[in-house]
Structures are given as structure tokens and as C-alpha cells.
Amino acid sequence: MTVTVELVLGMLVAIVLERLGATRGWMLALMLVPWSLVTIVNAQLWKYVYDSTYGVATWFFALFGEAPVILGEPVPAITGLMLADIWKTTPFVAIILLAGLVQISEDHYEAAELDGANAWQTFWRVVLPQLAPTLTIAVLFRVLQAFGVFDLPFVLTNGGPGTSTQSLAIMGYKVLFQDINIGPGAAIATSTAVIVAAGCLLFLRAFRNQAKGGEA
């Protein structure tokens, strides 16, 4: 879910940035602030936001009625964790997509305009096909990061309440280092590595096909 939302938001942000002139550098610098923060610091900041006593989110929900204990209930906890991850990594996706957008020649836009294509048709039939390799790279990076996410949920919820926000990395950590179950812990780590490797191969194969299609 986070990867999907980050791709959509990152695409919108990249399109806006691509159309900016002299202010693009300043906007890029501001966008990099969430990404440049150490994830532990980022998680701690969001923990303050979600605090059940003095958190900004708790205060906001209290305006409309009874505020939920965000990090103490499964659905609010996983939603809050997703928001924190999206806030941090959307700038990373946007910068990758911006690099692909600036490589598209203005001739393609002019040809689409001469053919009578509107902005939506230009995006789907001109921009998106040429941006497919860049999108593949962005998805590859984000999926790898999502599979290995540890510090954000560890600081915010420690995998709780229950196991509602427990990632594969946290589960492996608890089984291997807290429960001292070497066999199951090694199985979790190995299975995760196999899944990630298989995903990488699929994305790289898709990227290779896109590249061949572009050359053709």
C-alpha cells in the first residue's frame, strides 16, 4: 500500500517540479528534509505526533469526537505507520521520477499537441510509456526497502499492538534474538531473502523488456 501511494504522490510531485523554473532547487531541498532525517529520529517525531496524551493527531481527532489511541489499536496503528513511511519516502520516489521526466524530449510533447492530444492523453500515451523504466527502478528500490523495514515500526509500535504492525524484519529479530530460536529465525531470514531476490529478478526482467521495447 505504501509503495502504491508513494508512486502516485511521487508522480504528481515530480510533474509539478518538472514544470517549475528557478524555484525547483529550493523545492527539491525542502523535499529532501524528510528523506534526509535518520529513520529513528523520524519515527520518534511521529511517535510524538501520535501520542495519546499530547500528540497533534490526538488533538485533531478530539475536535470531531473521541480520539482513538492511535498506536494502541491495530487499524489506527498500521495507518499511522503507513503515513509516517509515505511522508519519509515519497520525496525519494519523486526525485527518481523527476530524473526520468527531464529526459523526455520536448519534441514528444509538441508532436502530441499537434495531434490534438489533451494533457491526460499526453500523460498516458507519451509520458508514462517513456517513464516505464524509471518507474520500474523506483518500484524496485521501494519494494526492497519495504521488505526490510525495521526501525520505523520498531520505534513506533515494536510490532504491536499484538502483531498488527510486525514486519518480517521485526519478526525475525524477535524470534532470533529475543526468543533465541535459531532455526525459525534463520528460516525467516532465508525466506525473506528468497522473496526479495525473486522480486528483484522479476523487476529486472521487466526493466530489460521495457528497455528492449524502447530501443525497438
pLDDT value at residue 85:
93
What is the average per-residue pLDDT within 129-143?
85
Find the angle CA(89)-CA(94)-CA(100) to the nearest 5 degrees: 140
List, as one string, the DSSP characters of 20-87: --TTHHHHHHHHHHHHHS-HHHHHHHHHHHT-TTT-HHHHHHHTTSPPP-GGGSHHHHHHHHHHHHHH
The Cα–Cα gap between 183 and 169 comes to: 15
pLDDT at residue 210, rounded to an integer: 62
Model pLDDT for residues 10-33, shown as the tens digit of each residue = 999 999 988 887 777 888 888 888
Mean of the pLDDT values across residues 189-195?
A: 87
3-state SS, residue 100:
helix
Q: Can you give the pLDDT at residue 13?
A: 92
Residue 180 φ then ψ, to 5°: 55, 45
pLDDT band at 211 (very low <50, low <70, confident <90, very high): low
In this structure, are residues 181 and 200 in contact, taking their beta carbons and an 8 Å threshold? no
Which domains does the chain possess? 2-106+116-215 (1.10.3720.10)
Instruction: Identify whether the C-beta of residue 115 lies closer than 8 Å to the C-beta of residue 89.
Output: no
DSSP for 150-215 reads: -HHHHHHTTT-STTTT--HHHHHHIIIIIS--HHHHHHHHHHHHHHHHHHHHHHHHHHHHHHHHHH
Q: Stretch 170-187: mean pLDDT, rounded? A: 90
Who has greater pLDDT, 204 or 116?
A: 116
In 3D space, the residue among 63, 37, 59, 38 whose CA is nearest the CA of residue 48 turns out to be 59
Q: Give CA–CA dist 96/98, Å, rounded.
A: 5
